[in-house]
Every structure is written in structure tokens, then in C-alpha cells.
Amino acid sequence: MYLADQTWPELGARLADASVAVVPLGSTEQHGPHLPLATDHLIAEALATAAAEETGVVRTPTVTVGVSPHHRQFPGTMWVDPPEFRDYVESFTRNLAYHGIDRVVYVNAHGGNVSHLREVGRRLHEDGTSYAIEWMWDESIPDLVDDLFARNGPHAGPKETAMITHIAPDLVRTDRLEDARDGGLVDLEASDATVHGARTYYDAIDNSANGAFGDPTDVTPEKAAELFEAAADQLVQLVEWLDAREREELLPKGRVA
């Protein structure tokens, strides 16, 4: 159920205490010369929608701008600073709790959001407001991602290209796939991104001139469908697991005597 499509009387009848919501979060940032800036939030929204339709839980509106200053050199990239992002997500999650939703899955598709969402979840758990956990789609199926693509990349590579190929194929600039590969960084381990154990970069452009990593030419519609369906299935299972938990299981444990 998509929350924003309902009227308040309809929601008043359907929202109950101890209920679950999925919250899609992504970014509006560069994804190489071949993918739209909307890539991350399109992925998050599509997966959250699929899980909500399968399980019947609430899906909230999508958070479309995230923590993306490391892509700022590329035109069009938008970002918010980490403290403001954390406070915003925490605030609307407390709002959901007011309406009876005490379990939340942050359906995340942007790496820059991960640590901040986990911190928000910790705060909400610590004071007993709600149990909110961060879920990053590609981290739920790492073996499949590695099996499908020979040269992965953490950003604007084959896995994200595959997801948009499945979700919104008209938005993939297929004539720029080779440009993305040849003008970007195919193999992160071959760069000087890490020297003597230290990470040497702060921004994506420090490693990739066009913002792409990996080889997106290795994508087919069949691989794209398999990737999306596998991630959606993992999210459905997570939602069902969370929905089956008793509230007492999820509250903070007491001090050890």
C-alpha cells in the first residue's frame, strides 16, 4: 500500500499499532554518461514498491536526495549535509511511529546514505521509539552480483545499469555504455585508491573522469531481470521476518545485573 495514495479515513482504518513500513531512499547524483541522475532513488522505489505489493505493508514517499557531496563536481548532482539528512530521516520516522508504525525498513540504494541511516536506526532503537533498519539492495545478493558480472564497480557500473535496464530501460543511454567503460575506471584495484592501507581519495572524480566504475557493457535484459527479482525477494523476506517479530524482541535489552 502506497501511503500517499490513500485518504486519511482509509489510513485511519488500516494503520495499526505494531505495523511495518518500507521507506525508499536514494540520491539525485551523477551516474556516468549512460545512466540518469535518478538511478538510486528509482531503484529504491521500485524495490520498495515490489515488496509492499507482495506483503501488504505500507510504502512511504521516496527520499530522492541523499548524502552525495563526493559527486558534486558533476553537473546536476544534489546533496544534503549528513547532520541534516540524519535529522530529517529521524524526524519523519518518529512521525510514522506516531501513527502506529513501529518497524521500518530503510530501502536504500545509495552507498553514501548507509552509515547515516544506521546511526538514525540506532538512535530510534535506543529510546524505544521504533525498530528501523537499513537495507542496501546489492549487499543482500553479493554472490549473484559477482556471478553475473565479471567487472563490477561500486558506482554506475553493471549492477546499477542492470537495475535501470529492468526498471526504466528508456532511461539507459545504450549508445554511451562503451564511453562509460572506457572513460571511467573499470578496475578499482588497479588504481591508487588505496596506498599502504590508506584510502587516498575523497571524491568520485579522483578515480573516474566520467564518474563510472566497472563495465556496464556486460548487461543483458535477462541478467537485469534476475538481479531485480533476487533483490526484491530478499527484501520481501526481510519484511516478513520483521513483521513476525514481537515488539518486545526488538526493544533494547536491559542492563546486565
CA distances from 113 to 19, 102, 129, 253 (A): 24, 21, 21, 27
- 3-class secondary-structure state, position 179: helix
Query: For residues 163 and 216, what is the distance between their CA atoms, to the nearest angstrom?
Result: 11
Region class of 131: left (phi > 0), else alpha (psi between -120 and 50), else beta: beta
Report residue 193's pLDDT band, with 50, 70 and 90 as the boundaries: confident
Domain positions in the chain are 3-247
Q: Residue 182 is placed in which grid cell?
A: 572506457
Q: What Rg do the C-alpha atoms of the chain give, in angstroms?
A: 19
Helix or strand run (H / E) with residue 224: helix 221-244
pLDDT tens per residue, range 206-252: 999 999 999 999 999 999 999 999 999 999 999 999 999 988 899 99
Round to whole Å and give the CA distance between 71 and 257: 48
User: 100: alpha, beta or left, given left = phi > 0 and alpha = psi -120 to 50?
Assistant: left
For residue 108, the 8-state DSSP code is E
Residue range 188-210: average pLDDT?
90
CATH match for 3-247 among 3.40.50.970, 1.10.3720.10, 3.40.50.1000, 3.40.50.10310: 3.40.50.10310
Per-residue pLDDT tens for 25-66? 999 999 999 999 999 999 999 999 999 999 999 999 999 999
Considering the chain, what is the average pLDDT of its residues? Answer: 95
pTM of the model: 0.96
Q: How far apart are CA 238 and CA 248, in angstroms?
A: 18
Q: What's the average model confidence in pLDDT over 190-201? A: 88
Burial (CB count <10 Å: 0-12, 13-18, 19+), residue 4: exposed
Determine the pLDDT at residue 18.
67
